[in-house]
């Protein structure tokens, strides 16, 4: 496995390999969720490139960026064991080489949900992902549905800009207690973790309600919010039910919809979602 730190070297690596290349962009602190993307990338491509880059441009607060977990040695050993060919891990100075003045803004999809709570976040994501696409030139790029809005934004960017890459969204991997795996979970206290479990449980309630023929968004949202309010020290940011394509709020679940929850627990922002459909 090659560990590559510069843009020049990753371009060289790309020019030397033939066949399909799968890219898995990450911010490191890898867990089984990331590794599920790596596994599929390995099945579908001749070469796997994983990027590890904690992207300052997508963090609102400097302290969140500074305290984001970094576990490079463990990450590299997991990727080596998984048969990854190249790990691209530039530092911020290398990635942005001074100042990047270009921004990529996907309208509409980014002004709500995570975008409302984290202004500029998706512009930062789009900038770094498009740079990674240009450097690695992958045939396929793997993203988790765990960050559903991110998947929609990137799909839109790729379509709008005719980027020659196929986006492959992958299912959310969860812990035994239902909590979606996240690099940030390691910061949860024991009681915080108890509270955080209300998030997947609320999504399960929603799934059950829809399965039982309840399609009123108002009613379903209220039920989910009520369940979340039973968790100690869980500050709910939003519970939204939106159209899967446009991310616009729905009144009724009469088409494929995303149920999205964001909440803060132990100062950690947790997000999760569920895809539902009445059909
Ligand atoms: P991150 O390192 O948090 O930026 O995540 C890198 C990629 O892994 C993103 O496409 C995430 O959506 C995906 N990912 C993170 N957590 C999970 C999970 N629990 N299951 C599946 N994919 C995930």
pTM of the model: 0.97
CATH label of the domain that carries residue 61: 3.40.50.620
Final residue before a domain boundary, out of 141, 170, 199: 170
Name the residue with the closest Cα to ligand 1, atom 10: 143
Angle value at C-alpha 133, between 132 and 138, nearest 5 degrees: 120
Ligand 1: lining residues by beta carbon, under 6 Å: 26-27, 33-34, 36-37, 143-144, 146-147, 170, 172-173, 180-183
37 touches 142 (CB < 8 A): yes
**Residue range 45-70: average pLDDT?**
94
Name the residue with the closest Cα to ligand 1, atom 19: 181
The residues annotated as belonging to the active site are 34
206 touches 214 (CB < 8 A): no
100 touches 15 (CB < 8 A): no
Residue-wise pLDDT for 167-193, tens only, equals 999 999 999 999 999 999 999 999 999
How many domains, in total, are found in the chain?
Answer: 2
CA distance 124 to 60: 10
pLDDT of 30: 98
Same domain, 120 and 189: no
Same domain, 210 and 128: no
Same domain, 267 and 150: no
pLDDT of 278: 76
Torsion of CA 183, 203, 152, 266, to 10 degrees: -30
Same domain, 188 and 165: no
Final residue before a domain boundary, out of 170, 201, 224: 170
Maximal CA-CA distance, the chain = 56
Question: Which atom of ligand 1 is the closest one to the Cα of 171?
Answer: 21
pLDDT at 279 over 80: no
Q: What is the Å distance from ligand 1's center to 182 Cα?
A: 7
Same domain, 133 and 7: yes
117 touches 124 (CB < 8 A): no
**Residue range 256-272: average pLDDT?**
97
Residue closest to 261 by CA, chosen among 120, 60, 114, 61 = 114
Sign of the Cα pseudo-torsion (15, 18, 19, 25, in order): negative
**Residue 175 resides in a domain:** no
Same domain, 82 and 149: yes
CA distance 131 to 160: 16
- What residues have CB less than 8 Å from 56, skipping those under 6 apart? 65, 92, 124
Q: What is the pLDDT confidence band of residue 97, given thresholds at 50, 70 and 90?
A: confident
Pairing of strands 21-26, 140-144: parallel
Same domain, 149 and 18: yes
Same domain, 127 and 255: no
232: domain range? Answer: 183-272
Q: What is the Å distance from ligand 1's center to 50 Cα?
A: 12
Find the DSSP H helices in 82-197.
92-96, 114-117, 121-136, 148-160, 190-196
Question: Which of 29, 32, 34 is the pocket-test mutation for ligand 1 (most atoms within 8 Å of CB)?
Answer: 34
Question: Which atom of ligand 1 is the closest one to the Cα of 36?
Answer: 21
Q: Which two tokens mark 138?
A: 């992958």
CA distance 62 to 131: 22
Length of the chain: 279
Share of the chain above pLDDT 70, in %: 100
Same domain, 197 and 150: no
Same domain, 71 and 157: yes
Q: What is the Å distance from ligand 1's center to 70 Cα?
A: 15
């Amino acid at each position: 496995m090659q560990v590559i730190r510069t843009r020049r070297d990753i371009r060289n690596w790309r020019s030397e390999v033939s066949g399909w290349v799968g890219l898995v962009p990450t911010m490191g602190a890898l867990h089984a969720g990331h590794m599920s993307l790596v596994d599929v990338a390995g099945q579908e491509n001749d070469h796997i490139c994983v990027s590890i880059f904690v992207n300052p441009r997508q963090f609102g607060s400097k302290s969140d960026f500074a305290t984001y977990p970094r576990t490079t040695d463990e990450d590299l050993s997991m990727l080596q064991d998984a048969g990854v060919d190249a790990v691209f891990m530039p530092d911020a100075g290398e990635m942005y080489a001074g100042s990047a003045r270009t921004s990529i803004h996907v309208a509409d999809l980014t002004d709500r949900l995570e975008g409302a709570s984290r202004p500029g976040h998706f512009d930062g994501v789009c900038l770094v992902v498009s740079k990674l696409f240009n450097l690695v030139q992958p045939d396929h790029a793997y993203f988790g549905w765990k960050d559903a809005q991110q998947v929609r934004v990137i799909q839109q960017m790729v379509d709008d800009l005719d980027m020659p890459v196929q986006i492959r969204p992958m299912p959310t991997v969860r812990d035994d207690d239902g909590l979606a795996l996240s690099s940030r979970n390691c910061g949860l206290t024991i009681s915080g973790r108890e509270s955080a479990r209300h998030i997947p449980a609320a999504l399960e309630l929603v799934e059950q309600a829809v399965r039982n023929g309840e399609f009123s968004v108002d009613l379903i949202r209220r039920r989910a919010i009520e369940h979340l309010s039973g968790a100690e020290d869980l500050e709910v940011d939003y519970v939204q039910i939106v159209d899967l394509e446009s991310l616009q709020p729905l009144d009724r679940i009469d088409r494929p919809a995303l149920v999205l929850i964001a909440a803060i627990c132990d100062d950690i922002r947790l997000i999760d979602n569920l895809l539902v459909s009445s059909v």
